[in-house]
Amino acid sequence: MDLEAIEFELADDHVATITLNRPDALNSWNDQMAAEVSWAWETIREDDAVHAVVVQANGDRAFCTGADVRGGTSWFFRANVWNTFDPGVTLSPKSHHRCWKPVVTAVHGITAGGAQYFLNEADIIIAADDAEFFDPHASAGIVSSLEPIGMLYRGMPLGDVLRWALMGSEERITAATALRLGLVTEVVPRSELRARARQIAASIAARNPRAIQGTVRAIWESLDMTRAAALQNGMAYTHIGNTPRSTPPRPKDPPTYR
């Protein structure tokens, strides 16, 4: 696929990198970016050479500012409103694309509104110290629902999600606060962001990919289940994923001499 709105590469260490590449538009997503991101998730899902993924963004000012409201965001709208769908199913790896490769997302600068689609289904999120998160929907008089629901789904505190969604552009979550709330797991200097994200992804990619994908899938699917059902599902995945066929042979113990 000829890519313009994103960059995509796969390195020898089995780490694929998706880079949002509309810096002049603050990496806001449009129809073209959606099509390219969808292609990327499907490619990553089907290519067993990919063991882990980094999502990052070009430009100095923003990771992503959500939908490009000036045009080019028509793919999820339909003339029949009942056929309009959540754009997250295209932009996010798991709920629609069923891609269970671990995703490390590296955030810098402004992360606003619909940018949460790139965060809410990430497995690990790290942030530069200049990152700030806010939701402009309320300031524009627009209902904010899908992005904050996704934040709750990944365990963000209810009160903080409501504050983020209701105060609009006036409320900015700093990188330090995002770390405290659990939105991100690590804050690093801006100059170290990409290298650190890649280091994390490469470390994961060096492990048994089938075991890693089974772990990712079991944990995410558990969020939609009761505890009993999640444990039963997890036990099934333990049996499926830990067969001799899917687990590398264990090195033989050295002989013991007496």
The predicted-structure confidence for 118-152, as pLDDT tens digits, reads as follows 999 999 999 999 999 999 999 999 899 989 999 99
Distances in Å between the alpha carbon of 76 and those of 68, 85, 113?
Answer: 13, 5, 17
Distances in Å between the alpha carbon of 208 and those of 49, 202, 255?
Answer: 12, 12, 26
* pLDDT exceeds cutoff 80 at 190: yes
Please measure the distance between the N-terminal and C-terminal CA atoms of the chain and give it in whole angstroms: 63
Q: How far apart are CA 163 and CA 172, in angstroms?
A: 10
Range with the poorest average pLDDT among 69-78, 124-133, 159-168, 217-226 = 69-78
Q: Which residues pair with 184 in a beta bridge?
A: none
pTM of the model: 0.90
pLDDT band at 54 (very low <50, low <70, confident <90, very high): very high
Residue pair 225/233 in contact (Cβ under 8 Å)? The answer is: yes
Residue pair 91/30 in contact (Cβ under 8 Å)? The answer is: no
Instruction: Fold for 6-205, please state it.
Output: 2-enoyl-CoA Hydratase; Chain A, domain 1 (3.90.226)
What is the rounded average pLDDT of the residues 19-38? 95
